[in-house]
C-alpha cells in the first residue's frame, strides 16, 4: 500500500483560520490528531502527534494533525480549552468535506483533555483514543466518559498521568488501557513502542 505525502492545508474556523497537515488514504476512516499544550511548546510537529499520524496512515486511515488556535499559522489565541474544542470540531468538518465517513478522534496530553471534553458529541466519532491524558494536571469528568473512550495509552513513568490511578479510571469508564513500560510523558526514544502497540490495537479492531 502506498502512503500519500502530507499536504499543508488551511480551512475556515468560524472567524479564525485553522492550519493542518492532511494525508489522504483510500479507506473510509480519517483521524483527527490533537497536540499537547500550546503554551508549553505543543504543536502538530510534536513527536507523539507525528507517530500517531504515521501509524494511522500505515493502517489505511486518512489523517489530519493540526495546530490549535494561536499555534503556527492557526489564527486566534490560546483559550484554556474552550475555543480549542471548536478547533477540533472545525478539523472534523474539514475531514467530512474531504469525504471521510468515519472519524477517529485521537489526542495527546492537553489534546487528550480537549478530546475528553468533547465526548458528549460521541456520535461524531467512530473511535476515541487518548494518549497520556494528564489527569494530575487537568480535571477530567471520568463519569462523563463512560463507554465513550475506546483506548487509553499511558507510560508507566508519567508524572502527569498516574498509571495506577488510570487503571481504576479506565475500568470505571469501560476503556481499554495500555501502559507502556519504561515510558514517561514525552515518549522520547519510545516512539517505536508506541507505534507497535497502537498498530496492533488498530489491526485487532479491524479483525
DSSP letter string over 71-92?
STT--S---TTHHHHHHHHHHH
Q: Which domain holds residue 157?
A: 7-206
Q: For 31, phi and psi rounded to 5 degrees?
A: -105, 130
CATH at residue 109: 3.40.50.1820
| pLDDT tens digits for range 69-126 | 999 999 999 999 999 999 999 999 999 999 999 999 999 999 999 999 999 766 789 9
In a domain, 13, yes or no: yes
- The tally of domains found in the chain comes to 1
Mean pLDDT of all residues belonging to the chain: 95
What pLDDT score does 122 carry? 62
Answer whether 0.95 is exceeded by the pTM.
yes
What pLDDT score does 2 carry? 52
| pLDDT tens digits for range 50-71 | 999 999 999 999 999 999 999 9
Is residue 34 scored above 60 in pLDDT? yes
Give Cα separations from 177 to 23, 25, 52 (angstroms). 28, 27, 16
Is residue 1 scored above 60 in pLDDT? no
In a domain, 1, yes or no: no
- Greatest distance between any 2 Cα atoms in the chain: 43
In a domain, 92, yes or no: yes
Amino acid at each position: 500500500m502506498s502512503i500519500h505525502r502530507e499536504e499543508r492545508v488551511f480551512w475556515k474556523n468560524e472567524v479564525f483560520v485553522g492550519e493542518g497537515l492532511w494525508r489522504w488514504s483510500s479507506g473510509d476512516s480519517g483521524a483527527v490528531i490533537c497536540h499537547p499544550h500550546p503554551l508549553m511548546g505543543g504543536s502538530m510537529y510534536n513527536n507523539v502527534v507525528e507517530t500517531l499520524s504515521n501509524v494511522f496512515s500505515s493502517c489505511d486511515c486518512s489523517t489530519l494533525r493540526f495546530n490549535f488556535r494561536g499555534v503556527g499559522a492557526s489564527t486566534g489565541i490560546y483559550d484554556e480549552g474552550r475555543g480549542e474544542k471548536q478547533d477540533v470540531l472545525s478539523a472534523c468538518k474539514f475531514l467530512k468535506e474531504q469525504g471521510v465517513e468515519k472519524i477517529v478522534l485521537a489526542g495527546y496530553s492537553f489534546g487528550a483533555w480537549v478530546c475528553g471534553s468533547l465526548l458528549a458529541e460521541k456520535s461524531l466519532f467512530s473511535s476515541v483514543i487518548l494518549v497520556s491524558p494528564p489527569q494530575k494536571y487537568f480535571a477530567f469528568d471520568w463519569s462523563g466518559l463512560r463507554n465513550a473512550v475506546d483506548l487509553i495509552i499511558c507510560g508507566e513513568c508519567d508524572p502527569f498521568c498516574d498509571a495506577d490511578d488510570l487503571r481504576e479510571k479506565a475500568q470505571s469508564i469501560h476503556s481499554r488501557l495500555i501502559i507502556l513500560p519504561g515510558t514517561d510523558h514525552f515518549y522520547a526514544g519510545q516512539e517505536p513502542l508506541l507505534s507497535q502497540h497502537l498498530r496492533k490495537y488498530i489491526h485487532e479492531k479491524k479483525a
